[in-house]
Each structure stands twice: as structure tokens, then as C-alpha cells.
Chains A and B, each alone.
Chain A
Amino acid sequence: GQQLNQSPQSMFIQEGEDVSMNCTSSSIFNTWLWYKQDPGEGPVLLIALYKAGELTSNGRLTAQFGITRKDSFLNISASIPSDVGIYFCAGQLWGGADGLTFGKGTHLIIQP
């Protein structure tokens, strides 16, 4: 099956810094999604990308769907304490009603 390589696995940053994480795949996806998961909760959708080259923002978050359809990145600007959590990328094939393929997550830790 498809595999997503998400990096970095963890990030230790200072409050106010910008954050960048990415996902790459050996397969082409038609949709890229970015989720955030807080401890003890389910993943919450942050941004959905549907077209190659698409750049989408949601507040301080910006994500891009790579031109090759095999990668995506997520940037967080001016990080704040509530950004702490695990961020997952997920890819879906066109007509892929059979679910998402997830990366293994980036654990974001913010030091005051």
C-alpha cells in the first residue's frame, strides 16, 4: 500500500517561531489533508488541498499541495502554546472511498 514519510518526527521550538513540516509519498495522491491531534482526542482537520500546486491558508497555517502530487508541506507562523500537539498529513486517492493514508505524525513541542 501507499506510504507517507512525514518529517520531522518531532520539533522543539520557541514560542513565536515559525514551523515547517512536510510529507512525501512514493504514490500520487489527489487530496492532501493536514490534521492536528491533541492528547486524548481525535484528529481535527486543519486544511484540505484538492489541486496540485494549491496553496491554502487557515489563519497562521499555510499548506501546499506539491506539483508532483507526491508531497505536501504545512507551515505555522508565529507559534503559540496552543499549537502544541501532533500534526498528521494524510493522502487520499481520487475516488478513494477506502480511507486515508496517514503519515506517522510530527510532534510539536513549544518551549516558553
Chain B
Amino acid sequence: DAGITQSPRHKVTETGTPVTLRCHQTENHRYMYWYRQDPGHGLRLIHYSYGVKDTDKGEVSDGYSVSRSKTEDFLLTLESATSSQTSVYFCAISASGGTDTQYFGPGTRLTVL
């Protein structure tokens, strides 16, 4: 298994509070991704990073921001959580982007009350 960890694994928070999810990798891969998974929607890309301090938006980026200050860590922040952001969040990594395969972390289940 690729060395990807996510923290926390579970979180319950209240509407309006800020939340930060962390993805940590030990593979030294350049590309990192955040997806959310919802019933009936599969996995959808939120943001991705193609290097330290280099990030871009995905399909469902509204309400989310990311940061990558070092290769191994990619943070996803919900500035003011809403109930529509209740979801399971997955981080993925790949060595070279493009057609290189992506490997997924174990996920974080976030509930916004």
C-alpha cells in the first residue's frame, strides 16, 4: 500500500466552524489530490496540487481551500463548514500526474451538524 495517511479519520463539527483535514504521504510523490465521495455522485475532485505551493481547483472547489507547504503534506480547509459539506474526503497521490495512476488514502468522514 502507498504510504498515505489522513487525519482525522472521523470528525463531527458544527455549521460555521472552520475545519482542516490533513493528508500526509511518505512516497515523495509530486501530485496530491482531494476528492469528496457522496452517495449517487461517486468521487469528485475538489482541489489538486502539482508541487509545493502549486495548487489548482477541481470540479467542486467552492467553499474549500488548500495549502501545500511541503511535499509530504496537503491540507484541505473548510473556512466555514456547511451541512452540504458532510461527506467522506479522500486524498490521493501520484508520482507524475498525467496518466500516472493515483493511490488513495483511507478517507476522513466529516459530519457537519
A-side residues, CB < 8 A to B, are 1, 6, 30-31, 33, 35, 40-45, 48, 50, 88, 90, 92, 94-100, 102-105
Instruction: Please report the C-alpha to C-alpha distance between residue A16 and residue B90 in the assembled complex, in whole angstroms.
Output: 32
Q: How far is the CA of A103 from the CA of B40 in the complex (A)?
A: 10
Q: Which of A33, A41, A48, A50 contacts B106 (CB 8 A)?
A: A41
Q: Which residues of A contact B41 (CB under 8 A)?
A: 104
A105 close to B107 (CB less than 8 A): no
The secondary structure that dominates the B interface is strand
B74 at the A interface (CB under 8 A): no
* A45 CA to B100 CA, complexed, in Å: 12
Cβ A42 vs Cβ B99 within 8 A: no
A33-B101, A45-B101 are contacts. A98–B45 as well, Cβ < 8 Å?
yes
Contact among B43, B101, B102, B107 with A41 in the assembled complex (CB-CB below 8 Å): B107
